[in-house]
Amino acid sequence: MIEATRNNIPIVDLHCHLDLFPDHVELVHECEQKAIRVLSVTTTPRAWPWNRDLNANSRYVRVGLGFHPEIVAERPDEIKLFERYSYEARYIGEIGIDGRPANRHSYELQRKVFERVLDICAEQGGKILTVHSASAVTPVIDSLEKHFPTSRGHVILHWFSGNLSELQRAKKLGCYFSVNPAMLRSKRGRDIVASIPQERMLTESDGPFLTVEGRPARPSDVFIALRELGTLIGKSPEEVSSIVLRNLRKLVS
Ligand code: MN
């Protein structure tokens, strides 16, 4: 198997919005060519069918069925579509709760929808969830505890920004953590990331929302996270890549 990427290091991007890039189709093709493993998350259930169809034969790109917390207030009825498509989706996301001031108005609705999503996923079992928890880490963990028994699937906390005690709670729930370059920019971020157990560590780009060098991050930019993570934990990018790849295999097996 050829795994040619930047510096020939295998890249794993567990949270990227490929369908929000203007060159979506080319980007899927590029990830396939370079053997970049991507979980292409969506923000609305309505986006599921064409993303699913576009990647029906992809070897490296998987699609998540999503219902983003920042849009649930605009279209709460799409929970019905979510439920309908959920039977054909192994990967779920982006889902979660956003507690930042701009989204406070819909907080209760977000929580209700998130918990309904968790119930649906728990009932079916075997799913892998990528979860948003900006300014809402404690409520997200509370909802997971109540609505998603650890035996019913796997949870990846994407762009985790909680504190150490929240990290401990998430660890106890068996959560994985997908780390992006932005999380490693501040001392606080690096301190938290350094406390993530290596066997739970994954990587992400969160493109195109996250930017690197003034442009939307692409899956290949996960290399930056590998390099920075390596510096943080005293390993080479190659070693970090091996750890992430091993974690991914465990997650999907
Ligand atoms: Mn995202």
Taken in order of first residue, the domains within the chain and their CATH numbers are 3-252 (3.20.20.140)
165 C-alpha vs ligand 1 centroid, how far in Å? 24
> How confident is residue 3, by pLDDT bands cut at 50, 70 and 90?
very low
127 C-alpha vs ligand 1 centroid, how far in Å? 18
The pLDDT mean for the chain works out to: 96
> How confident is residue 172, by pLDDT bands cut at 50, 70 and 90?
very high
Interval 37-84: pLDDT, tens: 999 999 999 999 999 999 999 999 999 999 999 999 999 999 999 999
What are the b/e assignments for 191-228, b being 16+ CB within 10 Å? ebbeebeeebbbbbbbbbebebeeebbbbbbbbbbbbb
Question: pLDDT at residue 97 above 50?
Answer: yes
95 C-alpha vs ligand 1 centroid, how far in Å? 9
| Token pair of 234 as six digits | 């005293």
Pairing assessment for the beta strands 127-132 and 91-96 based on DSSP bridges = parallel
Q: 2 versus 63: which is more confidently predicted?
A: 63
15 C-alpha vs ligand 1 centroid, how far in Å? 6
The mean pLDDT value for 150-164 works out to: 97
Q: Please report the beta strands in the chain, taking only residues with DSSP state E, as ranges in sequence order.
A: 12-16, 37-40, 61-65, 91-96, 127-132, 153-158, 176-179, 201-203, 211-212, 215-216
CA distance 227 to 221: 10
Question: pLDDT at residue 130 above 80?
Answer: yes
Place of tokens 């579509």: 81
H helix or E strand, kind and range, residue 82: helix 79-86
45 C-alpha vs ligand 1 centroid, how far in Å? 15
Which distant-in-sequence residues (6+ apart) come within 8 Å of 182 by Cβ?
A: 159, 189, 206, 210
